[in-house]
A and B are shown apart, each in its own frame.
Chain A
Amino acid sequence: MELIKPGFGLVFWSLVTFAILLFILRKFAWKPILGAVEDREEGIRTALASAESARKEMENLKADNERILQEARNEREAMLKDARDMKNKIISDAKEEAQTQASKMIEQAQAAIESEKKAAMAELKSHVAGLSIDIAEKVVREELSNKDKQLKLVENMLGEATLN
């Protein structure tokens, strides 16, 4: 029976001691320890979160880079295509231009040749006519300087005329 009867003195000292212990430990031990543990856990949580966000950002950045690279590639492709097209256009334009220019020049040349030819022909004609008159004059003079010959000629001419 003795064993299960709480002694008053020990109850009293237990309560007093426990209260003091609780007070001291709460103030000087549990507060700093729990505070430090919580701070550390908070730190770990934020570190993990920031690492995660950094990873995401990195991914975004990577995706962005990829996209920008792709865009640049596409742009280059387009630019190359444009350049090629322009080149082709320029070449074809130039060709066309040259063609027209050439045909125009040929035409002009032909026209010039034609006119030159005409002029030459006209000159030749007039020259030939003059020459023919000169020759004819000379010949006539020659022929008519001699009576015989004049008669002969007239005879020839008459003969020819009769023949006709």
Chain B
Amino acid sequence: MTFYTFKRVAFTLLFLSVFSFSFASNSKDSDSEKEFDAKEMIMHHVKDAYGMHLFDYNGHSYSIPLPIILYTDKGLTTFMSSEFHHDYNGEVIVEKNGQRFVNIHEKIYKLNDGETAVTYDAEHHPTNAERPWDFSITRNVFMMWVSVVVLLLIFLTAARRYKKSGDYVPKGIASFVEPLVVFVRDEIAKPMIGEHKYKRFMPYLLTVFFFIWINNIFGLIPFFNGANLSGNIAFTFALALCTFLITTFSGNKNYWKHIFWMPGVPVPMKIFLMPIEIVGMFVKPISLMIRLFANITAGHIIILALMSLIFIFQTIAVAPVSVGFALFIGIIEIVVTAIQAYIFTVLSALYFGMAVEDAH
């Protein structure tokens, strides 16, 4: 019963948050006629943002306001992103706790004491403001939590199926989940880590696989406004860091021996290989981080760029071509969502396998 209550509460929260639009008037009505800047539009979509922008209607922007959490030398400061009134050009100044904050290209800056307006240097960097510690629930964090709720709904429901039916026959959502779980176990964990040691890493591999996959998928759904979580380097950095830490802390004697004193090669070679192996230790997770980030971001950029063609040429005639190509890329991207999740998991498993491999 408690599970259903939890489900209902989750949906209610989602529902409420979608409909609590902030009806703030757009402060740049006058700029709406300005020339279309494809690069800015694409970057704006690919990067993180405060508040979930949903759509523009009648000169108004509608978005889900999200909390902004800042830590400055005066302690924690929180307010809703709607207080910026959709401004991200550093024009609207929010005063809290006697501090002034502005949003410059979806980065919050704290104005130095006494300043009332932002001044920029030649490269358009603010000169009289600095960044506070920013723990804001941005749209990526928000979408991450939505994906967590969805993942929990899927997998806890599936797991409950097994508890209920004593005969362990998968039914309903469990019959959808089980082949994927078995796939991760039999095609990723077992061959990469080995029959005897894979069990320890299964929870991590399964979680990372489904977490990346679902966020890749969410990134493709236009309604979520392309919250590009798995195409954000911070997210991929966090996951790659987890893989790196697990690899390093589960490394056995044999693993470290392969790094610092490669067995089976002459001594000069051992000395030559040592720095390469040490660099490799770090390059492996970094490659994981960049691969996932670059693949997902590239997909988003291509689709957005194709769509931008319509506005660059300012003719509807380009639309069929743009939509056709975007559809084509979109279908490829659907495959890529799974492939990238798979690659990240496989490589993580491979690194774990190297770390726990016995001397042969």
Residues of A within 8 A of B (CB): 2-15, 17-18, 20-22, 24-26, 28-37, 39-40, 43
For the complex, give the distance between the alpha carbons of A2 and B237 in Å.
15
For the complex, give the distance between the alpha carbons of A22 and B242 in Å.
11
Contact indicator per residue, chain B 29-66, by CB within 8 Å of chain A (1) or not (0): 00000000000000100111000000000000000000
In the complex, what's the smallest C-beta–C-beta distance from A85 to chain B, in angstroms? 66
Chain B residues, Cβ within 8 Å of A36: 162, 168
| Contact A13-B206, Cβ < 8 Å, known A6-B237, A29-B155, A33-B158 | no
Interface residue? B105 (CB, 8 A)? yes
| Contact A40-B233, Cβ < 8 Å, known A13-B135, A18-B239 | no
Q: Which of A3, A9, A30, A31 has the most CB of B within 10 A?
A: A9
Interface residue? B272 (CB, 8 A)? no
- CB atoms of B135 and A12 under 8 A apart: yes
Name the residue of chain B whose CB is nearest to the CB of A19: B242
In the complex, what's the smallest C-beta–C-beta distance from B354 to chain A, in angstroms? 22
Chain A residues, Cβ within 8 Å of B235: 10-11, 14
For the complex, give the distance between the alpha carbons of A25 and B177 in Å.
13
- CB atoms of A33 and B178 under 8 A apart: yes
Chain A residues, Cβ within 8 Å of B133: 8-9
- CB atoms of A21 and B237 under 8 A apart: no
- CB atoms of B233 and A6 under 8 A apart: yes
In the complex, what's the smallest C-beta–C-beta distance from B143 to chain A, in angstroms? 11
| Contact A21-B234, Cβ < 8 Å, known A30-B203, A37-B182 | no
- CB atoms of A25 and B155 under 8 A apart: yes
Contact indicator per residue, chain B 183-224, by CB within 8 Å of chain A (1) or not (0): 001000000000000000011101110010000000000000
A7 interface neighbour in B144, B207, B211, B234, Cβ under 8 Å: B234
Interface residue? B148 (CB, 8 A)? yes
Chain B residues, Cβ within 8 Å of A8: 133-134, 234
Chain A residues, Cβ within 8 Å of B148: 17, 20-21
Q: How many A-B residue pairs have CB under 8 A?
A: 122
Interface residue? B281 (CB, 8 A)? no
- CB atoms of A7 and B206 under 8 A apart: no
| Contact A4-B233, Cβ < 8 Å, known A21-B211, A32-B162 | yes
Residues of B within 8 A of A (CB): 43, 46-48, 69, 105, 133-138, 140-141, 144-145, 148, 151-152, 155-156, 158-159, 162-163, 168, 174, 177-178, 181-182, 185, 202-204, 206-208, 211, 232-235, 237-239, 241-242, 293, 297
For the complex, give the distance between the alpha carbons of A5 and B48 in Å.
12
15 further contact pairs, Cβ within 8 A, besides A4-B293, A11-B237, A30-B155: A3-B43, A3-B47, A3-B233, A9-B133, A9-B138, A11-B238, A15-B238, A18-B242, A21-B207, A22-B204, A25-B207, A29-B156, A30-B203, A31-B159, A33-B181
In the complex, what's the smallest C-beta–C-beta distance from B259 to chain A, in angstroms? 26
Chain B residues, Cβ within 8 Å of A40: 168
In the complex, what's the smallest C-beta–C-beta distance from B173 to chain A, in angstroms? 11
For the complex, give the distance between the alpha carbons of A15 and B141 in Å.
11
In the complex, what's the smallest C-beta–C-beta distance from A33 to chain B, in angstroms? 5
Chain A residues, Cβ within 8 Å of B105: 2
- CB atoms of A17 and B135 under 8 A apart: no
Chain B residues, Cβ within 8 Å of A21: 148, 151-152, 207, 211
| Contact A10-B239, Cβ < 8 Å, known A25-B206, A28-B156 | no
- CB atoms of A9 and B135 under 8 A apart: yes
Chain B residues, Cβ within 8 Å of A32: 159, 162-163
| Contact A33-B137, Cβ < 8 Å, known A6-B233, A17-B144, A17-B145 | no
Chain B residues, Cβ within 8 Å of A26: 203, 207
- CB atoms of B233 and A5 under 8 A apart: yes
Chain B residues, Cβ within 8 Å of A25: 151-152, 155, 203, 206-207
Chain A residues, Cβ within 8 Å of B207: 18, 21-22, 25-26, 30
For the complex, give the distance between the alpha carbons of A8 and B69 in Å.
12
- CB atoms of A7 and B48 under 8 A apart: yes
- CB atoms of A28 and B151 under 8 A apart: no
| Pairs across A and B, CB under 8 Å, 20 listed | A3-B47, A4-B293, A5-B233, A9-B69, A9-B141, A10-B138, A10-B232, A10-B234, A11-B234, A13-B141, A14-B144, A14-B234, A18-B207, A18-B242, A21-B207, A24-B152, A25-B206, A28-B156, A33-B162, A34-B202
Chain A residues, Cβ within 8 Å of B162: 32-33, 35-36
A2 interface neighbour in B47, B159, B211, B242, Cβ under 8 Å: B47
- CB atoms of A33 and B233 under 8 A apart: no
In the complex, what's the smallest C-beta–C-beta distance from A103 to chain B, in angstroms? 91
Chain B residues, Cβ within 8 Å of A12: 135
Chain A residues, Cβ within 8 Å of B159: 28-29, 31-33
For the complex, give the distance between the alpha carbons of A28 and B162 in Å.
11
